[in-house]
Structure 1
Amino acid sequence: MTENTIKVAIIDLYAGIVNQGMRGFQEILDRYRTKNNLNLTYQVFDTRGANILPGTDFDIYICSGGPGDPLSSETEPWDIGFMQLMDELEAHNNSAAPDKKHVLFVCHSFQMMCRRYKLGLINKRRSPSFGILPVHLTVAGKREPVLANLSDPFYSVDSRSWQVIHPDEKRFTEMGMQLLAIEKERPYVDLSRAMMAIRFNDYFIGTQFHPEADARGMKMHLMTEERKQEVISEHGKDKYNDMLERLDDPDKIMHTQNTLIPNFLDEAVQQIIAKGEMSIAK
């Protein structure tokens, strides 16, 4: 058992909207703690709903998805506070401090970070994207440790009304960032492909899909009449039935859930181990 505690902050951006994401993050952390025999704790912060933010004393940060427009909240106190926290974490990571802070951004928070760095166009989709959809790796994505052991394409849950498209290659180069994954190409539809995963820096990484999603939560969503009609309208009835079948495929979203966030946690925890503060049972 480890002597030191690994502290994880979960930043909740759902603003009180009922969701499966927060359960997904916590269950992944619970499994990871048990599997690796770690003294790992986590705390949830209702950032968007109550403007409560963690300090910089956590080891790992997971920032959730959430509803609505990622552009409209830029002057709201919670958004300003969130970006100030990111400033502080970046300054800490750029200093000589050995305890670097690893941050994962999912969907809405990913879009906010793309806004922060001006990496592309953020706009509202013609219709909501919802379902179990393929995600394609870029050349950089195939070398990314957090995406290791995922196939190309791999499958994950996509749930968004907004999107980040048209990557600004000059900005990516100037800032040393890497586009890791993109949306499936649809040659029969004249639409730009969304950026689905980005390595922002050595310690910040984000996905526009939901790596925390599992079959249980997805089935609850897909079986509601509203979501069923959204998927059928966007992809057709055959694709809707195909998504239901994919829920039972261990190589699809369950593999992504069991792989991506644990890989991210491995990177952060191994850094702590390298400092000689603890050991990990594998």
Structure 2
Amino acid sequence: MTQEAPIKVAILDLYAGMANQGMRGFKDILKRYREKHGLDLEYKVYDTRGANELPDTSYDIYICSGGPGDPLSSEAEDWDINFMKLVGDLEAHNASDATDKKHVFFVCHSFQMMCRRYKLGLINKRRSPSFGILPVHLTDAGKHEPVLQDLSDPFYTVDSRSWQVIHADEKRFTELGMQLLIIEKERPYVDLPRAMMAIRFSDYFIGTQFHPEADAMGMKYHLEQDERKNEVIAEHGKDKYNDMIERLEDPDKIMHTQNTLIPNFLDQAVKNIAKGEMPIAK
């Protein structure tokens, strides 16, 4: 079939001007996906947290980034209010008879904000920041999630957060029809709850508390910064730090995650846009 209109993607930047590798990661994934499938796909970045810029509901796909700080403290800020209004508008659109459903992917900070919105668990500050290339584990639901297809159990991700969502409220999950897909790595030597690391919020909304957009180049840059290096060594030890550096070269670790998870999400969205068929460029 012929693609009649470009696939439009909105990227919501929640970094508030903080230097990051995430935005480059999202753009690189979209560019590779466009080239691989020969799609007429365009994207636009919105400085949501820094300049209160938000897209309208005309986009096909929305990707919401991570960002710094407390996901609980901004509820009264204009950008947060407008962000949640957009989410509500997209929810209403998807609940309507409209056939052009809106697919949204939430990462880290925006994932935590969605957990706040739905009251899915306790959001609090970690005892110490988590940063590195770490394994995460699939739940039973996660093993049947198409977006996680071709990922092993456990698989490796980039984790970078000072806040966390823990103590899943199973009653709320059941009431809202949501599924917990991934949980934090098991730490039998630490008596602390495991964080929720990915949730299927609806047929069209999904999110991760880790960074599936991260790549080896960006991680290497961050891990070699003195502050980050010292944090990782303090949290995990020097041997684990060296292991993380080695994992950057392993194509089955974060490189595989970056090349698999968000592209799987895009596959679902594009197939819906094309009504079951992958569109091709004119």
User: Which range, TM-score by smaller chain?
Assistant: over 0.9
Counterpart code for 1:137: L
Match in the other structure for 1:148: 149
Corresponding position of 1:91? 92
TM-score calculated relative to the size of structure 2: 0.98
Per-residue deviation, 1:279: 2.2
Work out whether residues 25 and 214 of structure 2, in 8 Å CA contact, stay in contact via their aligned partners in 1: yes
Superposed CA offset, 1:250-278 (max 9, x none): 000000000000000000000111177x7
Change (3 A) 1:98 1:155: same
Where structure 2 has 5 or more consecutive residues not aligned to the other structure, the ranges are: none
Q: Tell me the SS of whatever aligns to 2:274.
A: helix
Per-residue deviation, 1:14 = 0.1
Instruction: Give the structure 1 partner of residue 196 of structure 2.
Output: 195
Match runs of 1:27-176 below 5 Å:
27-176=28-177
Could you give the per-residue CA deviations for residues 64-113 of structure 1, whole angstroms, max 9, x where no partner exists?
00000000000000000000000000000000000000000000000000
1:199-255 Cα offsets, whole Å, 9 max, x none, are: 000000000000000000000000011000000000000000000000000000000
SS in 2 for 1:274: coil
What number of residue pairs does the alignment pair up? 280
Structure 2 residue aligned with 1:280: 280
User: Which AA in structure 2 matches 1:233?
Assistant: A
- Provide the C-alpha distance between the structure 2 equivalents of 1:51 and 1:3, rounded to a whole number of angstroms: 32
Q: CA RMSD in A?
A: 1.1
Are 1:250 and 2:236 counterparts?
no
Aligned AA (1:180) = L
In the alignment, the residues of structure 1 paired with residue 276 and residue 135 of structure 2 have an alpha-carbon distance, to the nearest angstrom, of: 38
Please give the alpha-carbon distance, in whole angstroms, between the structure 1 residues aligned to 2:240 and 2:3.
Answer: 46
Label 1:275 to 1:189 Cα distance change in 2 as closer, same or farther (>3 A): closer
Identity %: 79
Distance (whole Å) between structure 2 residues aligned to residue 127 and residue 17 of structure 1 = 20
| Contact 1:273 1:280 survives alignment (8 Å) | no
Q: Matched residues in 1 for 2:215 and 2:168: separation?
A: 29
Asked whether the equivalents of residues 138 and 180 of structure 1 are also in contact (C-alpha less than 8 Å), the reply is: yes
Structure 1 alignment gaps of length 5 or more = none
Instruction: List aligned pairs for 1:256-267, cutoff 5 A.
Output: 256-267=257-268
Counterparts of 2:62 and 2:158, CA distance in 1: 21
Which SS does the other structure have where 1:10 is aligned? strand
Which 4+ stretches in 1 moved above 6 angstroms?
A: none
CA contact (8 A) 1:12 1:64 kept: yes
